[in-house]
A and B are shown apart, each in its own frame.
Chain A
């Protein structure tokens, strides 16, 4: 940057720092509260620190059930999203004649429209066709909005990788399946993994659509929501919150490093 561009740099730095504090401090506060000895209120400063609530949370069956359900849903919907998203990407990335914009729009719609719309429309369709609520109804809902993460990641990678490799593979006598298996798949593997990670985090955290499609079952976010509205043991909720932060943060970090290396390597 030329030096005359430094006008107001200090102000800019200040605004950025404050902005970052604003978006990060609340997360640290909730982690801190998980160690509080205070049982009834959200009193600050904290009266003392303890690890007790982690033990209490470990013993609670309802928490385990929610975690297991959430993990199952996240795994299955991520798998479905990977299959649907990747196939569509393979179709779309080389063909210009097809209404590619339509596909991109369709894929983004479930997250572009407010969650409540997605939730209630799936619910009303399920009730109209008499589909009983089960783990599968949650999976259907989650896969619908998870496709976009896989689709975007894989499509971006396919566009960046050169098509000549595919042509070379075919010229050298590989059949289309071999070409996919040994050329395309290794090429998009990290993008797939990154998309899958994001999709897992997205599913693990989704609450609005889940409320409408879960029936009586509790995923982790539904469990938390119930606790917020009718608290039983507040410190245990804080412990679960810390757990959720970890479960959603780690996949994002992994996804970030997987896609970052790719950019570095390709340039």
Chain B
């Protein structure tokens, strides 16, 4: 038996092409058939339609679902609301993440650096649901945030913020601001790490060269550091943008029950049983992400991943 195996392996060793094919095929079959196949099925289903009387899915090519999707202004609202949220979360995450990443890459000593790195890794990987839930605890009316603000005498400030149109609400845990805070909190580590990695890769000699050539700190930062770190920012933005675009847990637990793309997809396929419409709806984040990834690739984000 072992002998046959040995012979088989030796046989393969001299046929690199075949060996590579055999090693790759399990993965290709899995991702190609299971995953891409499913994505393709979804695409096909989005061209089916649902009989409005019987609720049965008609397996014939039609653009009805897409027509339904774009005809209703509420769906446009959902799409605009979700992308606006994803965009705002991305921009603010980048602004908060940059100084942190900068400090980690440029200032932290060899002892502090691994500690900081772990300090970002742990929240990134630790439970998503628990993190969302903890913000529910923090932001409810009787919770810790209210208590802190009362102790500091800043309650009226919160009231002013909550009374703002559109982004306000009855309490933080039922408002866009609350939802926004949670999104930024949850995805922030995904932004810090790629920026830190790209900053880390900037050769120190470049900074010295810039200063030797008479560039002041601000100039060096603007003309050397920022352009070199930018692919990292774009790489991080892929995560923050995509994850916000598809999330339906945060808008369900936090927020004022206005729909986001994820929730719409979930409701259409589950409660409403309208899989074609749900499928058409989920094409929107896919298309947005495809365009986004293409732009990101142009900007060199993939090398920064």
- Which residues of A are interface residues toward B (Cβ below 8 A)? 1-2, 4-5, 7, 9, 11-13, 15-16, 19-20, 22-24, 26-27, 29-30, 33, 41-45, 83-85, 87-88, 90-92, 95, 98, 103, 106-107, 109-110, 112-118, 120-125, 127-128, 140, 143-144, 147, 170, 175-177, 198, 201-202, 205, 207-208, 211, 221, 224-225, 228-229, 237, 241, 244-245, 248-249, 252-253, 256, 260
Contact = CB atoms under 8 A, between A and B. Distances in A.
Interface in B142-177: 142-144, 146-147
B24 A92 contact: yes
B251 to A, nearest CB: 11
Nearest to B99: A15
B133 A30 contact: yes
15 contacts: A7-B217, A13-B103, A24-B119, A29-B138, A30-B134, A92-B24, A114-B242, A115-B247, A121-B42, A123-B269, A170-B13, A208-B246, A221-B128, A237-B133, A252-B122
Contacts of A42: 136-137, 140, 142-143
B26 interface: yes
Given A85-B27, A124-B38, A124-B279, A248 B126 contact: yes
A29 B144 contact: yes
B209 to A, nearest CB: 12
Which of B118, B119, B129, B248 is packed against the most chain A CB atoms within 10 Å? B129
B107 A1 contact: yes
A244 B129 CA distance: 9
Task: Report the interface size class on chain B.
Answer: 35 or more
B295 to A, nearest CB: 14
A84 B128 contact: no
Nearest to A211: B266
A27 B129 contact: no
B31 A107 contact: yes
Contact of A98 (B20, B208, B269): B20
B103 A116 contact: no
Contact of A117 (B129, B252, B285): B285
Contacts of A7: 217-218
Interface in B70-124: 96-97, 99-100, 102-104, 106-107, 114, 116, 118-123
Contact of B142 (A24, A41, A118): A41
B10 interface: yes
A198 B125 CA distance: 8
Given A112-B238, A241-B130, A252 B121 contact: yes
Given A91-B19, A113-B286, A125-B42, A207 B106 contact: no
A16 B123 CA distance: 15
B275 interface: yes
B129 A207 contact: yes
Contacts of A85: 27
B202 interface: no
A27 B123 contact: yes
B81 to A, nearest CB: 15
Contacts of A106: 28, 31-32, 35-36
Contacts of A26: 131, 134-135, 138, 185
A41 B214 CA distance: 61
Contacts of A115: 243, 246-247
Contacts of A88: 23-24, 26-27
Contact of A120 (B32, B42, B114, B218): B42
B294 to A, nearest CB: 12
B228 interface: no
A250 B59 CA distance: 48
Contact of A205 (B10, B37, B128, B265): B128
Nearest to A19: B100
Contacts of B23: 87-88, 90-91
B253 interface: yes
Interface in B223-268: 238, 242-243, 245-249, 252-253, 261-262, 265-266
Contacts of A147: 27, 30-31
Contact of B127 (A92, A127, A245): A245
A125 B37 contact: yes
A201 B147 CA distance: 34
Nearest to A38: B142
A23 B275 contact: no
Given A120-B282, A252-B122, A45 B147 contact: yes
A113 B126 contact: no
A68 to B, nearest CB: 18
Contacts of A11: 99
